[in-house]
Structure 1
Amino acid sequence: MEINNSLTINNSDGVEIIHDGGILMDDGATAVGRRHGEARQKPIAVLLFLITKLVNGCSNLGQMFYARKLFDEFPDPDLFMWNAIIRSYSRNKMYMDVIEMYRWMKWVGLHPDKFTFPCVLKACSELLDFGLSCLVHAHIAVYGFGSHLFVQNGLVALYAKCGCIGMARMVFDRLYDRTIVSWTAIISGYAQNGEALEALRLFNQVRNTDVKPDWISLVSVMRAYTDLDDLEQGKCLHGCVIKTGLEDEPDLLISLTAFYSKCGLLVHKLVPSN
Structure 2
Amino acid sequence: MVFDCTPRPDAYTYGVMLRCLVQTERHAEAVALHQDMRRRRPCPEAQDDFVLSLALKACVRSAEYGYGRRLHCDAVKAGGADGFVLNSLVDMYAKAGDLECARKVFERIPGRNVVSWTSMLSGCVQNGFAADGLLLFNKMRQDNVPPSEYTIATVITACSALIGLHQGRWMHGSVIKRGLMSNSFISAALLDMYVKCGELEDAQSVFDELSYIDLVLWTTMIVGYTQNGNPLDALRLFLDQKFANIVPNSVTTATVLSASAQLRDLSLGRCIHGIAVKLGLVEYTVVVNALVDMYAKCQAVSEANCIFGRISNKDVVAWNSMLSGYAENNMCNDALMLFKQMSLKGPSPDAISVVNALSASVCLGDLLIGKSFHGYAVKHAFLSNIYVSTALLNLYNKCGDLPSARRVFDEMNDRNSVTWCAMIGGYGMQGDSAGSIDLFGEMLKDGVHPNDVAFTSILSTCSHTGMVTAAKRYFDSMAQHFNIIPSMKHYACMVDVLARAGNLEEALKFIDNMPMQADTSVWGAFLHGCELHSRLQFGEEAIKRMMVLHPERPDLYVLISNLYTSNGMWDKSLAIRRWMHEKGLVKLPGCSSVGRENG
* TM-score, normalization by structure 2: 0.39
Residue number in structure 2 paired with 1:234: 269
The separation in 2 between residues aligned to 1:189 and 1:259, in whole angstroms, is 18
CA contact under 8 A between 2:83 and 2:110: conserved in structure 1?
Answer: no
Matching residue within 74, 81, 88 for 1:36: 74
Match for residue 294 of structure 2 among 252, 259, 269: 259
Inter-partner Cα distance in structure 2 for 1:40 and 1:82: 23
Q: Is the 8 A contact 2:222 2:252 kept in 1?
A: yes
Q: Distance in 2 between matches of 1:220 and 1:271?
A: 22
For the 8 Å contact 1:56–1:67, the answer to whether it is kept is yes
Q: What is the aligned counterpart of 1:48 among 71, 78, 83?
A: 83
Matched, 1:106 2:141: yes
1:200 aligns to 2:230 (yes or no):
no
User: What residue in structure 2 maps to residue 8 of structure 1?
Assistant: none
Q: What is the deviation of 1:209?
A: 3.2
Q: Where does 1:21-100 land on structure 2 (aligned, <5 Å)?
A: 30-34=67-71, 35-37=73-75, 38-40=77-79, 42=81, 47-100=82-135
Change (3 A) 1:28 1:207: closer
Rounded Cα–Cα distance in structure 2 between residues aligned with 1:51 and 1:28: 15
Amino acid at match of 2:314: S
Cα separation, partners in 2 of 1:204 and 1:271, compared to 1, 3 Å: farther
Rate the CA distance shift 1:271–1:81 in 2: closer, same or farther, 3 A. farther
The one of 218, 225, 233 aligned to 2:253: 218
- Cα distance in 2 for partners of 1:118, 1:255 equals 31
For residues 211-253 of structure 1, the C-alpha deviation after alignment (integer angstroms, 9 at most, x for no partner) is 2222222222121011011222212222333343433433333
Match of 1:252, SS state, is helix
Distance between the aligned counterparts of 2:247 and 2:309, measured in 1?
A: 29
1:68 alignment partner, SS class: helix
The SS at the match of 1:272 is coil
5+ residue gaps in structure 1? 1-13, 18-25
More helix by share: 2
Residues 221 and 39 (structure 1), Cα distance of their counterparts in 2 relative to 1, 3 Å cut: farther
**Could you tell me how far 1:29 is from its partner in structure 2?**
5.4
Aligned partner of residue 74 in structure 2, secondary structure: coil
- Write the deviation string for residues 41-72 of structure 1: whole angstroms up to 9, x where unpaired: 65xxxx22212222222122211111111111
Assess if the C-alpha contact under 8 Å between 2:91 and 2:119 holds in 1: yes
Equivalent-residue separation in structure 1 for 2:201 and 2:267 (angstroms): 30
- Separation of aligned partners in 2, 1:268 and 1:48: 57
1-structure distance, mates of 2:155, 2:224 = 19
Cα deviation digits, residues 83-111 of structure 1 (max 9, x gap): 11122122212211221111111111112
Q: Is the 8 A contact 1:183 1:206 kept in 2?
A: no
Q: Which moved more, 1:75-84 or 1:211-220?
A: 211-220
Q: Which residue matches 2:164?
A: 129
Any conservation in 1 of the 2:226–2:259 contact (CA below 8 Å)? yes
Q: Supply the distance in 2 between the matched residues of 1:104 and 1:248 (Cα, whole angstroms).
A: 47
Paired residues for 1:8-19 under 5 Å: none
- Structure 1 residues 233 and 55, CA, compared in 2 at 3 Å: closer, same or farther? same
Note closer, same or farther for the CA distance 1:133–1:29 as it changes in structure 2 (3 Å cut).
closer
Of residues 150-159 and 229-238 in structure 1, the stretch that sits farther from structure 2 once superposed is: 229-238
Contact 1:222 1:259 in 2 (8 A): yes
How far apart, CA to CA, are the structure 1 residues paired with 2:115 and 2:88? Answer: 11
Matching residue of 2:281: 246
CA contact (8 A) 2:65 2:96 kept: no
Q: How far apart in 1 are the matches of 2:65 and 2:218? A: 45
Tell me how far apart the structure 2 counterparts of residues 178 and 207 of structure 1 sit (CA, whole Å): 10
Find the aligned partners of 2:274 and 2:91 in 1 and give their Cα distance: 40
Comparing both chains, which one has the higher relative contact order based on Cα–Cα distances under 8 Å and sequence gaps of 6 or more? Answer: 1
Aligned-partner Cα distance in 1 for 2:134–2:65: 36
The yes-or-no answer on 1:272 pairing with 2:313 is yes
Q: Aligned AA for 1:215?
A: S
Indicate how the Cα distance of structure 1 residues 30 and 132 shifts in structure 2: closer, same or farther if over 3 A, else same. same
Unaligned runs of 5+ in 2: 1-48, 53-62, 316-599
1:55–1:67 contact (8 Å) kept in structure 2: yes
TM-score (norm 1): 0.81
Measured in 1, the distance between the counterparts of 2:133 and 2:167 equals 13
Query: Structure 2 CA distance, aligned partners of 1:115 and 1:232?
Result: 44
1:27 is displaced (CA, Å) by: 11
Distance in 1 separating the partners of 2:65 and 2:89:
18
- Give the 3 Å change call, closer, same or farther, for CA 204–105 of structure 1 in structure 2: same
Alignment of 1:131-146 (within 5 A): 131-146=166-181
Given that 1:253 and 1:271 are in contact with CA atoms closer than 8 Å, whether structure 2 keeps it comes out as no
CA distance in 1, matches of 2:74, 2:292: 52
What is the percent sequence identity of the aligned residues?
Answer: 27
- Distance in 2 between the 1:225 and 1:203 partners? 12
Separation (CA, whole Å) in 1 of partners of 2:133 and 2:269: 39
